[in-house]
Amino acid sequence: MHLLNPKQFAQSYPDEETKQIMLKTIDFFEGLGLAKTKADYESRRWYTEFLEFNKKEKIFATLLTPKNYAKNARWDTSRITDFAEILGFYGLTYWYCFQVSALGLGPIFLGSNEELKKKTVALLEQGEIFAFGLSEKEHGADIYSSEMKLSSDGKGGYVANGEKYYIGNGNKAALVSTFGKVEGSDDYVFFAVDSQHDSYECIKNVINNQDYVANYRLNDYPITADDISEQGQKAWDDALNTINVMKFNLGFASIGICTHAYHEAIDHASKRRLFDHYVTDFVHIKQLFVDSYTRLTAMRLFAHRARDYMRSASEDDRRYLLFNPMVKMKVTTQGEEVVNMLWDVMAAKGFEKDMYFENAVIDIRALPKLEGTVHVNMALIVKFMANYFFKPGKFDDIPVRRDACNDDFLFNQGATKGLGKTKFHDYRKAYKKCKSLDNVQVFKKQISIFRKMLMVARPNKTQIKDIDFLLIVGELFTLVAYGQLILESWDKNNIDDDLVDQIFDFMVRDFSKYALQLYSKTSSTKVQQIFCQTMISKPVRNDARFNRILNDFAYAKKDSYVMNP
């Protein structure tokens, strides 16, 4: 549960096919070796071998085909995210190809055009890749302003005209799910186009990278009813619901990147001697490794538990709508923090061209920003705060979900409105179960003070309009939910007590950091400042616990994994 080691891959699965996908993928990348993947990355070479491997093994087809569209098919978020983590571990560029293919498939499988779905499954079986044509250069994630248009061709069909920008796989995708509007109406529409069609103009790759992130233009591209996956309000809902499902994978890519970087960092530091000491003997290096290890473990614990909620979602249980953007935002920003800490350990070594780490420090930055910045997700998360703290609902307990079943509800999420009505179970249940861990007790007191502040000194009308103020409040709220799911994972997966207590060491410090930021805002009121001062706390020092985590967990990864040369 703690850290991925591809050469000691121990994850069990309910079916042999899934396990073989993971093992074959690991073997493929270890066969390529670090030097080859680095050379391709640095030369920005298109990943032909990876696509040929996918075609041969039908991996995208197996993982990304929902139930009833192929024999033994299932959309299983558990195995999809495991695969995403492995790809992130070896290189974000490979993950990105998979990720944008999943995004491109979303509107098709969420739509109502069954013939288009069958055509798509046949293309998946042939090893093809896909793309998601949503954003535009002048509007970015503001899809209200989309200028892509379908207009009548006078013969009962349509022609499509317009540009899309920042579209991964837009150079080779067999189908590009393209979002636009029907000219002369308020109708939104999703339709599929072929990137190799004469009326599809692939203008350029807009980034300097191994991936191809296209700017493409449709020039009177002929569209029939057979190409339209959805029209009207449902097309709009399908756009947002696709993002709900597919961009969940961002957090798992971040976990994969951090894990590989961690292996390199501990191996380097443990062998390097400075001033007659190994680097790992220095006090500040010990702290950096304990913090990076516990933060990375927390990322995994939270993301895995959030996955349980994704897989168990239903019309009456939409708690995933909070935990999902937290995986996209909180887990990926924690990934940046982990790599920053490891870079302080690696120092100049982290720049060297023959290290995976050089890729990690670049790629880890991309993940929080691929979702339209942290602010987008935080603005969404804050909408849930009132119900989360003050209006709990009653729900059955969600078990650990590693079972082999299709995640049906993800393709039947319904209308994307009424987020403020979403209910959650009482978060205090998870915290009450943990009575013996010192830092959890400190954290619970911080939560209690924050909750009281929201009751008696909640943000006023001016502060509500101050996005920077709300972002800090949102960070405090996010920490509460983050800790909740970490404790649920601790309870359900028999996670070591000392490890979780050390995780809450940094959680207490982070809570104090954001409390200080809120206190320091020029717009914070006197009463809010008093609450913020009271929130600031120190974690409980326990040298025996710290040293055990250092030696039995953080430093125990030394010499456990090196990628084949």
CA distance 318 to 499: 30
Q: State the pLDDT at residue 282.
A: 95
Residue 317 per-residue DSSP state: B
pLDDT in tens, the chain (565 residues): 679 999 999 889 999 999 999 999 999 999 999 999 999 999 999 999 999 999 999 999 999 999 999 999 999 999 999 999 999 999 999 999 999 999 999 999 999 999 999 999 999 999 999 999 999 998 877 778 889 999 999 999 999 999 999 999 999 999 999 999 999 888 999 999 999 999 999 999 999 999 999 999 999 999 999 999 999 999 999 999 998 899 899 999 999 999 999 999 999 999 988 888 899 999 999 999 999 999 999 999 999 999 999 999 999 999 999 999 999 999 999 999 999 999 999 999 999 999 999 999 999 999 988 755 666 777 778 889 999 999 999 999 999 999 999 999 999 998 877 778 899 999 999 999 999 999 999 999 999 999 999 999 999 989 888 888 989 999 999 999 999 999 999 999 999 999 999 999 999 999 999 999 999 999 999 999 999 999 999 999 999 999 999 999 999 999 999 999 9
Q: State the pLDDT at residue 372.
A: 56
DSSP string, 494-563: T--HHHHHHHHHHHHHHHHHHHHHHHHSTT--HHHHHHHHHH---PPP-HHHHHHHIIIIIGGGTTS---
Q: State the pLDDT at residue 428.
A: 97
CA distance 441 to 436: 8
Sort strands 175-182 and 188-193 into parallel, antiparallel or unpaired: antiparallel
CA distance 435 to 153: 69
CA distance 174 to 177: 10
CA distance 239 to 233: 10
Q: State the pLDDT at residue 370.
A: 74
Q: State the pLDDT at residue 373.
A: 60
Q: State the pLDDT at residue 374.
A: 65
Residue 244 per-residue DSSP state: H
DSSP string, 57-100: HTHHHHHS--TTSSTT----HHHHHHHHHHHHHH-HHHHHHHHH
CB 289 within 8 A of CB 345: yes
Q: State the pLDDT at residue 378.
A: 75
* 491, HSE (Cβ side, Cα atoms, 13 Å): 18
Ramachandran sector of residue 322 (left: φ over 0; alpha: ψ -120 to 50; beta: rest): alpha
CA distance 112 to 129: 21
Q: State the pLDDT at residue 379.
A: 74
Helix (H) or strand (E) holding 175: strand 175-182
CA 92 from chain centre, in angstroms, equals 12
| Amino acid letter, residue 234 | K
Hey, is 440 helix, strand or coil? helix
| Amino acid letter, residue 159 | V
Task: Report pTM.
Answer: 0.96
Sort strands 175-182 and 130-133 into parallel, antiparallel or unpaired: parallel
Q: State the pLDDT at residue 40.
A: 96
Residue 329 per-residue DSSP state: I
Hey, is 153 helix, strand or coil? coil
CA distance 417 to 58: 37
Q: State the pLDDT at residue 273.
A: 87
